[in-house]
Chain A
Amino acid sequence: MIRASRDGDQDAFAALVRQHQRRVFRLAGRFFRRPEEVEEVAQETFLRAWMKLGTYRADAPFEHWLTRLCLRCSYDRLRQGKNEPEALEEDVESPAADPDARMEVAKLLAHLPPADRFVLVLLDGEGWSVAEIAERLGWTQVNVKVRAHRARKRLRRLLEEG
Chain B
Amino acid sequence: MDCRTVRDRLMRSEGDGEAAAHLEACPECAAFVRRLALAREVLRQPAASPDAMEPDASFSLRVVQWLPRPAEVLGWAALRALPAAVVLVLALLWIGVSQPPSSPELRDLLADSPRPDVVLTYAALAPEAGP
Residues 26-41 of chain A, each 1 if its beta carbon lies under 8 Å from chain B, else 0: 1011111111001100
The count of chain B contact residues (Cβ–Cβ below 8 Å) is: 34
- Report whether A92 and B48 are in contact in the complex, using a CB–CB cutoff of 8 Å: no
The number of residues on chain A lying at the interface, defined by a beta carbon within 8 Å of a beta carbon of chain B, is 49
Main secondary structure of the interface of B (DSSP, over half): helix
Contacts of B35 in A (CB 8 A): 101, 105, 108, 159, 162
The listed residue (A29, A47, A156, A159) touching B63 by CB distance below 8 A is: A47
- What total count of A-B pairs have CB within 8 Å? 112
Q: Chain A residues near B7: list those with CB within 8 A.
A: 156, 160
Binding site of A, secondary structure by majority: helix, strand, loop or mixed? helix
* A residues lining the B interface (CB < 8 Å): 8, 10, 13-15, 17-18, 21-22, 25-26, 28-35, 38-39, 42-43, 46-47, 50-51, 88-89, 92-93, 96, 101-102, 105-106, 108-109, 117, 120-121, 124-125, 152, 155-156, 159-160, 162
- Which positions in B face A, CB cutoff 8 Å? 7, 11, 32, 34-36, 38-49, 51-55, 59-64, 66-68, 70, 73
